Amino acid sequence: MPHADSSLVPEEIKTKSQFWSHVYMQLEPLLDGQRNWVSNLANASSLIYNALLAFPIHFGPDPKKGVNWCGFYIDSTRFPKSNDSNFVGNRLLLGPFCGKPACQFINVTPGKARGVCADAFMHAKSKLVPDVDSYPGHIACDGDTKSEIVCPLLDGNQVLGVLDLDCLAVSGFDEDDQKGLERIVELIVGACDWY
Ligand code: SME
């Protein structure tokens, strides 16, 4: 099967829980034989983003109200080393994603951190945000985004980064999405070397 076909969603898939199981099963072979986290996160963000766009039941019939961003922010110290002063602790750096350009750094310094990604990272807990405009400190990378979900990448007690999804509709994500994404994130963390 061509790699791109892994993001197709068969017609018999009708519920969100079937959808997320399907995406999980499509992701497993994409990760197989590859442990580089940059490469794996690139394919994972593309698979999730394109599968969501191919599953109109998820957000309703209006294509203008679907997912508009899916990607990763990773602890900057995990990136290949550089002398650049940007590669210091207490910062998340933009990783592989699908969607429009986004902010590159997110401050996760205790006492100074703000935003949905920083909160999910600092508390090591998923954040489901039905209305971004009423979330204190939300960082608006795209003024069209209305709702958001962020899941931390947990490796034992360590938080490696976060998976972030944005939607053009209010209440675009729910607990079924959270469950499905948390399972997917666990698969991704175990499939990569985080040097
Ligand atoms: N909204 C996020 C910032 C990242 S963008 O959505 C891609 C936040 O509040 O942390």
SS3 assignment, position 123: helix
Q: Are 41 and 96 in contact (CB under 8 A)?
A: yes
pLDDT at 2: 85
Closest to 160 (Cα-Cα) out of 104, 84, 116, 108: 108
Residue 119 CB less than 6 A away from ligand 1: no
pLDDT of residue 77: 87
Question: What's residue 62's pLDDT?
Answer: 74
Ligand 1 atom nearest 141 alpha carbon: 5
pLDDT in tens, 97-152: 999 999 999 999 999 999 999 999 999 999 999 999 999 999 999 999 999 999 99
Ligand 1 in reach of 117 Cβ (< 6 A)? yes
Residues of the chain whose pLDDT is less than 50? none
pLDDT at 43: 97
* Distance in angstroms (rounded) separating the CA atoms of residues 102 and 71: 10
From the CA of 117, how far away is ligand 1's center (Å)?
6
CATH architecture of structural domain 11-191:
2-Layer Sandwich (3.30)
Distance 151 CA to ligand 1 centre (A): 12
Question: Rounded to two decimals, what is the model's pTM?
Answer: 0.95
- Calculate how far, in angstroms, residue 190's C-alpha sits from the geometric centre of ligand 1: 25
